[in-house]
Amino acid sequence: MRDYIWPWQSNVMMKHPWALPILFLILAVILSFVTWFRSKHAPQGQGQEQQ
Amino acid sequence: MVQKIQLEHNYDYILSGNVTEDLNQFKTIFDNCIDIKFREFDIHGARKGALVFLSGMVNMQTIDFEIMKPLIESDERLFQESAAELNDSDIQNIIENRLLFSSQLSWFEDFPDIIEHVLSGNVAFLLDGLQQVLVINAKDWEKRTVEEPATEAVIRGPREGFQETISTNISLIRRRLKTPQLKMEDMKVGRLSNTQIVITYLEGIVDTKLVDEVKNRIGKIKIDAILESGYVEELIEDNSFSLFPQVLITERPDRVVGNLLEGKVGIIIDNTPFVIIVPGTFFQLLQSPEDYYQRYFVASAIRMLRFFAVLFSLLLPSLYIALTTYHQEMIPTMLLISIAASRETVPFPAFIEALVMEIAFESLREAGVRLPRPVGQAVSIVGGLVIGQAAVEAGIVSSPLVIVVSMTGIASFIFPSFQLGLAFRLLRFPMMIAAATFGLYGILMMLLLLLIHVLRLKSFGVPYLTPMAPLRISGLKDVIVRASWLKQSTHTGELKSQRHQNPFNRLRQRQNK
Amino acid sequence: MEIISRHQLLTISIIYQIGTTIIFGFASGAGRDSWLAVLISTCLGTAVVWIYTRITHFNPGLTYIECYPAQFGKLLGTPIAWLHPLLFLYISGRIVADIKNLVPTTILPGTPPWVILLFFMLVISYGLFAGIEVMGKLTEIILPIILLIYLIEVILIFSSGVVHFDNLSPLLDKGWGRIWEVVWPLGIIQSFGESLALALVWTLMNERKRVGRTMIISSLFAGLFIAFTDALAVAVYGEEIFKRATYPMYALIQAISVSDFITQLDATGVIYFCFMAFLKTYIYLFATIRSIQKLTYSNSSRVFIFPVVLIALFMGLTMAPNVVEHIAVVQKVIPYNPIYLSLMIVFPVLLFLVSWIRNKSGTAAS
């Protein structure tokens, strides 16, 4: 069980290879909320970085 | 427009026209200054006048023969020409055109201006009844002769160096560029020193934004006194915290003129022979004007030698430490055996050994600077050899190390720019520490750190490592080798925008179209 | 806004794509046909990189990361976008672990690994702080030096008399099977899928139109470079040793022995590797920071430098206790890991198709 805390370690990657993808997915969803919260800070010129 | 002098107190005095009163004002201000002299006179009993001047800074002959003599020998009737009262401009006219012999005179009525001129070595001529004062140029003082610059000797090339008097320096530049495009603008900096600073550039070649930026930065300087160009350098540099100088300092007029032709700006400062040239980039600091006077093959070879010297002066001791401590297997076996044999008696690890020798060498070098010239050179060289030899025999250092340290020292003397040499001398030490702790890996990381730092530097907007990064192939012609004059880029005067792309295109060759 | 020039992008990409494969190689499974495997991977990989560049082309003004929410909608696109910085962070942790396993074992045996890595991360942080413009200039200066050193190495190898070209033949006697094993998915992912991180840099280039061309040139060059090195390694060592070597390219340098004078230059190989790793880690961390900055709509990226570097350092330190396990992960786990595959191949292809279709209908309508 403790392995799941360190899913990037090589031994964990060999034994439970799906641990890292699951961690990433969970983090991605959580961080998407951060994006949603911060979307008010989106500058008007968003996307006009390089023309 | 001449920048106003910044005086400590506000002299709000308005000239009254009464000589005695005005003179009293002068005397109060210059109280306890025994070098200010006052010469009161009257012209044929009709009018009173006075001269105010600094005795150490004026030419007495000028005062005696060009001012006092004509005054006293003047025609009695000069001021009695017409029955009506002569008005001020008439009197001024008479004095300028019929009385005095000087070639440079002007009238001032602003009291601080007059003080400034007196302090600069001019003579103030007061006349009763006039509310303006005539300032006559009579400057003359003891100065050094024009001689070869001490820090930048060349084998081939002119042997004139700048001096402490700014007018001489200006003329040294002017003689080499006889064109009205050569501009000289002046500014005054320093609350108490009121040092004159002249900004010089070639109109039409220089980027006017650069000139404005220079004037802007100098104008912002708030300091009591400017004693040397180093003060100005530190105050206008982009990043004075870095070890690397971002301006070029030189004592040679030909070097200044060469750089002016490339569109740079020169800053001449009174009382110091060291002229600042901006912007300064790394590769400019590695060039010597002699490169252009020698044959181009020779010059190119010497340039390449200089590059190796740069690397050596930085890396040689560190490589020695890294290889002997961590990577002995990389040294060829025979060499390894002899190094090991000579290091057998040494009680210290390579790092301490190298550190001790380097510090000793640096101390010798610093000491050599302070000793009188003939003695100094001998002491540095002999001291180095003798101490090195004695140290080897005492078993404190090993002989390969003495070789390493002396080669490093010699390499660091090859730098044409003293300041850059200093920077590399200092950088050697962190490099040695990195080598001692992490071996070759440490050297790599330290080099990367250094490179990142140098790449961040800009001098007045120009990246420090131009033309190598950002890469401009045309500029490289002049960096790695010195291409012959035939192959140097041509310059068409109107392409100022292009010049901003290639800031340092060699402009000296114009092909006749 | 920082701008890098086309030439700087080229040098960054070349060094990045040659990167760490120069030491590890991915094609050792293919034995003496490894160079062929590399060439095939190069062709396919270049196509993949081209797809990446087209995506940025179809979404003008947006960084690669922002294309996902833009094209797939915020609900689906944002989590997918967030997967990228996480992946990049993991990969940079891997490279840090590479160094941890290589440097102490080869050139600095007495030094504790965390100190070595700490120094490494310090220099990286300074570079991140300085910005990508500075890194572009750095690679501009260093690429010629790298190539020069490589050339000298090759000359020295030939002068050591250890090169036996007959090791390279017979060609393909074991069939195409093992070549395909290596090419898909490992070959494409290793050098070219990883160029995904470079996508965050593309929007900073001054001539946007030439990005595709620049990347193609750089990918082809890097591929040829690696293929040549692989072939050389086989020529020197023969197939069996090559397949078993932990660091095949590093072994090449160990082979240099010119008349007993210039021998044992292992350390140079390690230094070479350290620099490549430095740049790769830098780009990955830069991509991570930039992605996070874009996804959180922050104005400055500097605030993220410290935490990101710290996480990468921590991951690298704890990732693998020894090099064998570390490489085993690369060989066995990563090719089948859904994250790599999806982010580097599946999603980009989808994104490409969607952007292309939208772009077409957009221009048709307007």
Nearest CA of chain A to the CA of C18: how many Å?
24
Residue B508 has pLDDT above 50, yes or no: no
Does an H or E element contain B299, and which?
helix B296-325
Nearest CA of chain A to the CA of C206: how many Å?
8
Burial of C182 (0-12, 13-18, 19+ CB in 10 A): buried
pTM: 0.84
Residue of C nearest to A17 (CA): C333
Per-residue model confidence as pLDDT tens digits over B45-54: 777 888 899 9
User: DSSP letters along B111-170, please?
Assistant: HHHHHHHHHTTEEEEEETT-SSEEEEE-B----PPP---SS---SSS------S-HHHHH
Closest CA to B139 of B56, B40, B199: B56
* Residue pair C227/C25 in contact by the 8 Å Cβ criterion: no
Nearest CA of chain B to the CA of C128: how many Å?
10
Half-sphere exposure of B121 (CA within 13 A, CB side): 15
Cβ-defined contact of B445 to C120 (cutoff 8 Å): yes
- Calculate what percentage of chain C has a pLDDT beyond 70: 94
| Cα–Cα distance, C74 to A37 (Å, whole number) | 13
Which residue in the set A35, A47, A48 is minimally distant from C295, CB to CB?
A35
Which residue in the set A34, A46, A50 is minimally distant from C208, CB to CB?
A50
Overall size of chain A counted in residues: 51
Cβ-defined contact of C271 to B444 (cutoff 8 Å): yes
Cβ-defined contact of C90 to A20 (cutoff 8 Å): yes
Range of the domain at C84: 6-353
* Residue pair B249/B275 in contact by the 8 Å Cβ criterion: yes
Cβ-defined contact of C138 to B465 (cutoff 8 Å): no
Question: Is residue C363 assigned to a domain?
Answer: no
Cβ-defined contact of C123 to B445 (cutoff 8 Å): yes
Residue C121 has pLDDT above 90, yes or no: yes
C-chain residues near A9 (CB < 8 A): 318-320
Overall size of chain C counted in residues: 366
**Angle CA B108–B113–B119, to nearest 5:** 115
A-chain residues near C64 (CB < 8 A): none
Overall size of chain B counted in residues: 513
* Residue pair C276/C20 in contact by the 8 Å Cβ criterion: yes
Find the radius of gyration of the CA atoms of chain C: 20
Per-residue model confidence as pLDDT tens digits over C290-316: 888 888 888 887 888 999 999 999 988
Three-class SS of residue B266? strand
C364 pLDDT band (50/70/90 cuts)?
A: low
Give me B58's structure tokens.
Answer: 């004026």
| Cα–Cα distance, B123 to B54 (Å, whole number) | 8
- Rounded mean pLDDT of B188-204? 90
Burial of B221 (0-12, 13-18, 19+ CB in 10 A): middle
Per-residue model confidence as pLDDT tens digits over B426-465: 899 999 999 999 988 999 999 999 999 999 888 888 888 8
Residue of C nearest to A30 (CA): C79
| Cα–Cα distance, C222 to C216 (Å, whole number) | 10
B168 pLDDT band (50/70/90 cuts)?
A: very high
Cβ-defined contact of C329 to A14 (cutoff 8 Å): yes
| Cα–Cα distance, B187 to B174 (Å, whole number) | 18
Three-class SS of residue C246? coil
Interface test with A, best of C96, C211, C297, C336 (most A CBs within 10 A): C297
DSSP code, position A41: G
Which residue in the set B332, B439, B445 is minimally distant from C262, CB to CB?
B332
Residue of A nearest to C338 (CA): A21
| Other Cβ atoms within 10 Å of C56 Cβ, number | 23
Indicate whether this complex's ipTM tops 0.90. Answer: no
The percent helix, strand, coil of chain B (3-state, each to 5) is 50, 15, 40
Lowest mean pLDDT segment, chosen from B3-12, B309-318, C249-258, C278-287? B3-12
Per-residue model confidence as pLDDT tens digits over B220-261: 988 888 888 888 988 888 887 888 989 999 999 999 998 898
B510 pLDDT band (50/70/90 cuts)?
A: very low
Residues of C contacting chain A (CB within 8 angstroms): 1, 60-63, 66, 70, 74, 78-80, 82-83, 86-87, 90, 93, 203-205, 208, 295-298, 315, 318-321, 325-326, 328-329, 332-333, 336-339
CATH number of the domain at C292, please.
Answer: 1.20.1740.10
Query: What's the domain count of chain C?
Result: 1
Three-class SS of residue B241? coil
Which residue in the set A14, A35, A48 is minimally distant from C296, CB to CB?
A35
Give me C9's structure tokens.
Answer: 């992008």
CA C136 to chain centroid: 16
Give me B262's structure tokens.
Answer: 């490339």
Write down the pLDDT at residue B487.
52
- B–C interface: beta-carbon pairs under 8 A: 85
